[in-house]
Structure 1
Amino acid sequence: MSFKFFGLISLICILLSFSSYGRVYQYDEIREEIKDMTLDNHNPWHSYSKARKMLMQEIHLRQDQDGYFVQDVYCQVKFRHRVGPNTMPSHTKINIEHTWPRSRFGERKGNSKYRTMEADLHHLYPTDSRTNSTRGNYKFTQFKSNVSGLKNCPFSKRGYVSSIGEDGFEPPENHKGNVARALFYFAVRYDLRISEHEEFFLRQWNLIDPVDQEEIDRNNMVEGIQGNRNPFVDDSQLVELITDF
């Protein structure tokens, strides 16, 4: 872990030194350097069903005095029914959110790359099933304070965004940084592009909701399962090295 962290710091220092000596480090070169980090030791699953089990039965499984639970990230609700190390909760109650929607993978459904993207744990989170459907494939945004939260899910919002001509979705404050770093990872790892509107807010969220211990622990657990890390969790300053996602 410490070796990987110092590797990231070394990359930043190298890029800054190139800049100091007049070497213009090209955008694509920086992006490729960071992409190499996301590829390092990545052992693609190609099994979404296994990814779901790992998410529900290990990564997000918690226990308190009332027993096992999984807390969804959009409504902050603890789900307990049929939750445990060897059981799967009903998908009609709690489901898996693809932070980068599958409809925007840009790949034919079922091919090898699609299945790798679908099962990549770095962008998968447990969410209330109804709110998962409400979010759909809408881009992330931020509304003014006078916009109300969703019914039965007040921490999240959805509404029309005139600047992009469609609805947008705003996650809870304590999940905004996670969303940003998951999407930055996904864009770099799979050569995808983030819209200008979405990127504007994601960059802000990366700063206002910094990496916490839970996100670090999650990154470690995902590495233990699929082999690779999210470098933007290891060092969120890497975001500043990419001028356009």
Structure 2
Amino acid sequence: MLKKIIFIILFFSIFNIQNFKYTFSSEFRQNNFNQAKKFAIKISKKFPKSFYCGCTINWNGKKGIPDLKSCNYKIRKNRIRANRIEWDHIVPAWEFGHNKKCWKKGGRKKCSSNSIFKKMESDLHNLQPAIGEINGDRSNFSFYEWKKNHKKNFYGSCHVLIDFKNKKIEPPNSKKGIISRTYLYMSYRYKIKIPKKQMILFKKWNSKYPVNKWECQRDNLIYKIQGNHNQYVHNKCIKIPK
């Protein structure tokens, strides 16, 4: 009886994975940010938590609503954005776009027809569901790590520390490894120049905060959609016992 139950579970698991792969791989084109967000939502539904704060996300079509009570989130200022999910580019669009001619002529909008920029903008490995207020406050600030936890925490139990004056942000420890591996991937794949001090920090975080199971699952889901792994995640996932 037990063998029969295990067989049924495995059968439907394989069926669902194959169906997931077929549905996505035949539709996705890595050249449209709005389309990328639709696929990012489908991935997020497998693990419906906001990136920085770990709030439960309730998805209603394209609209993601964070349950702020689930993570003891305190609204700093912007109530409207605090109550919606937005897609945060871990490596900001400014960082991979500001040196391009199109950006210099008119910012992000002017790069909407640049094929390389669109590819980077819609890369699913670089997109994370974040509380809108955090996304807005972070802007294109650089990730940083203070020696002492002296910066003010604006968001209740969500330990995101922002220095607005110096335009720097320190994420929760639980996200530092993910952020580092995203930066390393984007830098390598698209030849994005990252400041030396930042790269030293990301290599440190990559070593100190290892890959977790959801990172591995997410990387595999993106592979089935977009057709490529984040090698800084995938190569370590191979070594993790299933």
TM-score after normalising by structure 1: 0.68
Tell whether the 8 Å contact from 1:131 to 1:153 is kept in structure 2 after alignment: no
CA distance in 1, matches of 2:62, 2:93: 25
Tell whether the 8 Å contact from 2:86 to 2:135 is kept in structure 1 after alignment: yes
Aligned to 1:74, the other structure's residue is in SS state: coil
CA distance in 1, matches of 2:181, 2:29: 20
The match for 2:132 is 129
The match for 1:95 is 86
Offset from partner CA, 1:79-127 (integer Å, 9 cap, x none): 22xx15x443369411000011111223331111111111000111000
The match for 1:71 is 49
The match for 1:105 is 96
Report the residue type matching 2:86 in the other structure.
N
The match for 2:34 is 49
The match for 1:3 is none
Larger RCO (CA under 8 A, 6+ residues apart)? 1
Matched, 1:60 2:44: yes
The match for 2:108 is none
Displacement of 1:146 after TM fit? 2.7
Aligned-pair Cα RMSD in Å: 2.3
Report the residue type matching 1:48 in the other structure.
F
Q: Select the residue among 115, 121, 134 that pairs with 1:118.
A: 121
Offset from partner CA, 1:145-164 (integer Å, 9 cap, x none): 23232334632111168xxx
Q: Could you say which structure has the higher helix fraction?
A: 2
Aligned to 2:232, the other structure's residue is in SS state: helix
Offset from partner CA, 1:10-32 (integer Å, 9 cap, x none): xxxxxxxxxxxxxxxxxxxxxxx
Tell whether the 8 Å contact from 2:143 to 2:169 is kept in structure 1 after alignment: yes
What are structure 1's unaligned runs of at least 5 residues?
1-42, 64-69, 237-245
Aligned to 2:192, the other structure's residue is in SS state: coil
Aligned to 1:76, the other structure's residue is in SS state: coil
CA distance in 2, matches of 1:157, 1:151: 9
The match for 1:150 is 154
Report the residue type matching 1:96 in the other structure.
W
CA distance in 1, matches of 2:62, 2:158: 29
Displacement of 1:227 after TM fit? 0.3
Tell whether the 8 Å contact from 1:138 to 1:167 is kept in structure 2 after alignment: yes
Report the residue type matching 1:225 in the other structure.
I
Tell whether the 8 Å contact from 2:185 to 2:230 is kept in structure 1 after alignment: yes
Displacement of 1:209 after TM fit? 1.1
Matched, 1:221 2:206: no
CA distance in 1, matches of 2:157, 2:122: 26
The match for 1:8 is none
Tell whether the 8 Å contact from 2:153 to 2:161 is kept in structure 1 after alignment: yes
Label 1:160 to 1:101 Cα distance change in 2 as closer, same or farther (>3 A): same
Label 1:153 to 1:115 Cα distance change in 2 as closer, same or farther (>3 A): farther
Report the residue type matching 1:136 in the other structure.
S
Tell whether the 8 Å contact from 2:63 to 2:85 is kept in structure 1 after alignment: no
CA distance in 2, matches of 1:131, 1:153: 13
Tell whether the 8 Å contact from 1:74 to 1:153 is kept in structure 2 after alignment: no
